[in-house]
Amino acid sequence: MQPGVKIAIGGKGGVGKTTVCAVWAHLFAEDDLDVLAIDADSDPNLASALGVAVDETPEPLIEMKELIGQRTGARPGAVGQYFKLNPKVSDLPEKYWHKINGIRLLVLGATKNAGAGCACPESAFLKALLTHVILQRSEAILVDLAAGLEFMGRACVQGVDGLVVVVEPGARSIETAVNIARMGREMGIEHVAAFANKVTDVGQIDIIRSQLVDIPVLGSFRLDAALQVADLKRLGVMSTSDELVGELQKAKDAMVNLFFKDRVLG
């Protein structure tokens, strides 16, 4: 079995974390690693970024109420039920992933109703599945986290090798990145780094670096309107910008050297 590569990618909404996750998934696949990309966002768009056609986009597992009920022993949405905190999930990745260009995509989704936090069947189901994938599987795992801090608060990514926060020039984005990094370290994630996106000049990169104290910046990419056009057309990110892929290749190499310097991958 190849050594597992387990990377979680987070950040404030709209910073481009899904783009980073999609490109890195392709690049790890090009390295002949078995790649499992996980979309854990409440607004899942990783399939589109990977180039999956609209009519082939997998249904998020969070929306499979009958399955969740079967595995947890409780009906999603009902109040005051007992349910299994560790439901059986080991058989689910192979049943529900979608394969594209050597990548296995598993769309989890996330709870998004008010009050649907940790103490509900849906959250218990998602946490059990994500924990299984991170701790028990041997693929290169890339997790596109839900935007912001809430997902980190559920401690759903314990066991990953590293956490990468995507940040754009802006006080709120930087503050979110700092808090995500802090929470990651508090839950025992050894390696934390950042990628600066949508920058317009070197000065902005310098400001981001100066405010991300003790968080190494792996690389950066400029603000590019072509990515917005590609997103509107639902084009996969690898066909959008060779420059973007090149910069993320450099950032991936920097991440591997930082997170896995004592490990042979592949």
The structural domains of the chain, ordered by start, are: 5-259 (3.40.50.300)
Count of CA atoms in the C-beta half-sphere (13 A) of 134: 24
Question: In degrees to the nearest 10, what's the CA dihedral of 21, 140, 265, 187?
Answer: 80
The per-residue pLDDT for 76 is: 77
The per-residue pLDDT for 78 is: 67
The per-residue pLDDT for 265 is: 73
Question: Which stretches of the chain drop beneath a pLDDT of 50?
Answer: 1-2, 114-116
The per-residue pLDDT for 155 is: 62
Cα gap 244→227, rounded to integer Å: 9
Is the entire prediction scored with pTM above 0.75?
Answer: yes
The per-residue pLDDT for 116 is: 45
